[in-house]
Amino acid sequence: MTIHRATIADLDRLVPLFDAYRQFYEQPSDPAGGRAFLTERFERGDSIVLIDADGVGFAQLYPMLSSVRMRRTFILNDLFVQPDTRCSGLGHALLQAACDEARAAGAARMTLSTAVDNSAAHALYVRAGWKRDAQFHTYTIALD
């Protein structure tokens, strides 16, 4: 499997994946909005998007900083593989490529979160060596 860091040239292959990912999380289809969102990420350089050569899976990382560790960290915010391609090893390969990108940037760690009922993702993360956080609770607040 060949995975590379996406550029704006990959946008046409990336937009349908991003839209399918959002629909998986029960958001309405919005390819135009997804294109605008991803275009802005590329233009601002505020995320790293990875995509496979066949255009059936992607991951998106956002850089953060850890004050405690005084180092960069990354949030693996998005990971998606088309349903008919799952169980092919692509999800694992995308996770590995994401870790490689973070290591190359000198990151201390990566974090991710997923829906409580997303058992397929939970199993993938455990197989890939990720550990569920037992030390911290995460809280959110909607601002809109």
Is pLDDT above 90 for 87?
no
Regarding pTM above 0.75, the answer is: yes
> Encoding tokens for residue 92?
């694992």
pLDDT tens sequence across 45-64: 999 999 999 999 999 999 99
- Second CATH level (architecture) for the domain 3-127: 3-Layer(aba) Sandwich (3.40)
Higher model confidence: residue 137 or residue 21?
A: 21
The whole-angstrom separation of Cα 75 and Cα 113 is 9
List the chain domain ranges. Answer: 3-127
Residue 138 class from Cβ within 10 Å (0-12 exposed, 13-18 middle, 19+ buried)? Answer: exposed
pLDDT tens sequence across 91-137: 999 999 999 999 999 999 999 998 889 898 999 999 999 999 888 88
